[in-house]
Amino acid sequence: MDLTLDDGQLALQEELRRFLTNEMTPERRRAMSAEPGGVDRAFWLRLAEMGVFSLTLSEAAGGVGLGIDDATIVFEELGRALVPGPLVATFLAAGFVDGAADGTIVVGAVDRGPEDLVVEHLEALDRILWSGDPATVTDVPRGRLITRPLDPTTPVSHVRATDIGPGDTVDPALRDGLLRHASLLVAAFQVGLAQAAVDLATDYAKSRQQFGRAIGSFQALKHLLADAAAATDIARAGVHAAAVAINEHDDADVEPVARLDVLAAGARIVASRAAHVAATTCIQVHGGMGYTWEVEAHLLLKRSMVLDQSLGGIASAERTVEESL
């Protein structure tokens, strides 16, 4: 057992972090929001070049041949940099939708549900991964863009379920594995959001002065930040351990499959809560600035809220754990 990152994983993390620090600036993010569907296609191609979507595909299939644990490292970095777009859906589709792996096609995910659907990034999508049993890959229906989305970096549209065609069936054998991976990648992204919130707030707490000293010296704030940092790191370990359990299961049945679902769902629950605590702490630490549009704290919170609605919602993760008891 060793749950620390190995050298290859540290290098992967470092490479992506450097790329995103340079490329994913707040100005760039703002510019992306103005693109149709909130996705910058050129940037999407660069993410694909970095292997973001093809990471776990075999080298024979044009991928990088890494494990889902490596993918969680990548998705944490994407979350940390608050990269917009249907990243998880495109990653999942890379195994069976042509063009997803190399970034030429943007795939979104839609949960089967009521007639009246709210879909993210609709105008940027080329294909839709339509969840359900069986899952299908369909054409993109028309929708009505909502003028005021909750998260300014995640445009949303109204879509009528009846406007979505039947599409091509996804191999049912893939379905459970896809869902598990999706849960974990969402969880990893949440950990990244949480870490970004802790970092942003910590920097501010060190520089902002009141009563003649840095506000981060006040225990009232220091303790909020410590709790947020603790929640984030614990969530990260949960995501990594679940990912490794899934990886090792792919080699040999070590854990029963149902248990893997529970681990992935549990990791998602804890990560979501960490992101919420960290983002609200980040807002609080910034005082009035934290309530403004300028400081990115609200974007971290809002993206976390968007993610909580994905994959049947966080409640479905809670039910998965519940049913294991």
Partner 1 sequence: MRLRSTPAEEAFRSELREWLGVHLAQLPAHPAADDWPAQREYDTAWQRQLFDAAYAGMAWPKAYGGRESTANEELIFLEETERAGAPYIGCNFVGTLHAGPTIAAEGTAEQKERHLRPILRGDHVWCQGFSEPEAGSDLASLRTRAVRDGDHYVVTGQKIWTSHAHVADYCEMLVRTDPDSKHGGISWLIMPMDSPGIELRPLRTLTGVSEFNEMFLDEVRIPVENLVGAENDGWRVAMVTFSFERGTAFVSELLGSMVMARDLAEVAKAMGAWDDQSIRRDLAIVVAELESLWAYTKRNISTAAKTGTTGVGGSIFKLGYHDARLHLADVTTRVLARHGLALDDLGTLSRFDHVERSLYALSLSIAAGTSQIQRNIVGERLLGLPKERAWT
x/- contact string, 171-200, with partner 1 (CB under 8 A)? ---------------------------x--
- Nearer to partner 1 by Cβ, of 29 and 180: the residue is 180
DSSP H or E stretch at residue 108: strand 107-110
262's tokens: 């529970």
- Nearer to partner 1 by Cβ, of 192 and 216: the residue is 216
Cβ neighbourhood burial of 63 (10 Å; 0-12, 13-18, 19+): middle
Pick one of 145, 217, 256, 291: the residue that binds partner 1 (CB under 8 A): 217
- Nearer to partner 1 by Cβ, of 6 and 176: the residue is 6
Residues 37 and 124 sit within 8 Å (Cβ to Cβ): yes
Which residue has tokens 């969680």?
A: 72
x/- contact string, 233-272, with partner 1 (CB under 8 A)? xxx-xx-xxxxxx--x-----x-------xx-xxx-xx--
Q: DSSP assignment of 12-78, as one string?
A: HHHHHHHHHHHH--HHHHHHHHHSGGG--HHHHHHHHHTTTTTTTS-TTTTS----HHHHHHHHHHH
SS3 309: coil
- Nearer to partner 1 by Cβ, of 130 and 189: the residue is 189
210 touching partner 1, by CB under 8 A: no
Distance between start and end Cα atoms, the chain:
26
Q: Kindly indicate which of the ranges 86-94, 148-156, 175-183, 218-226 contains the residues binding partner 1, using the contact rule CB under 8 A.
A: 218-226
x/- contact string, 46-75, with partner 1 (CB under 8 A)? -----------------------x------
Report the C-alpha gap between 238 and 243 in whole angstroms.
9
268's tokens: 């998602």
14 touching partner 1, by CB under 8 A: no
Q: Dihedral sign, CA of 23, 29, 31, 35?
A: positive
Q: Kindly indicate which of the ranges 78-86, 121-129, 211-219, 290-298 contains the residues binding partner 1, using the contact rule CB under 8 A.
A: 211-219
- Nearer to partner 1 by Cβ, of 125 and 275: the residue is 275
Which residues of the shown chain bind partner 1 in the complex (CB under 8 A)? 1-6, 9, 69, 198, 202, 205-206, 213-214, 216-219, 222-223, 225-227, 229-231, 233-235, 237-238, 240-245, 248, 254, 262-263, 265-267, 269-270, 273, 315, 318-319, 321-322, 324-325
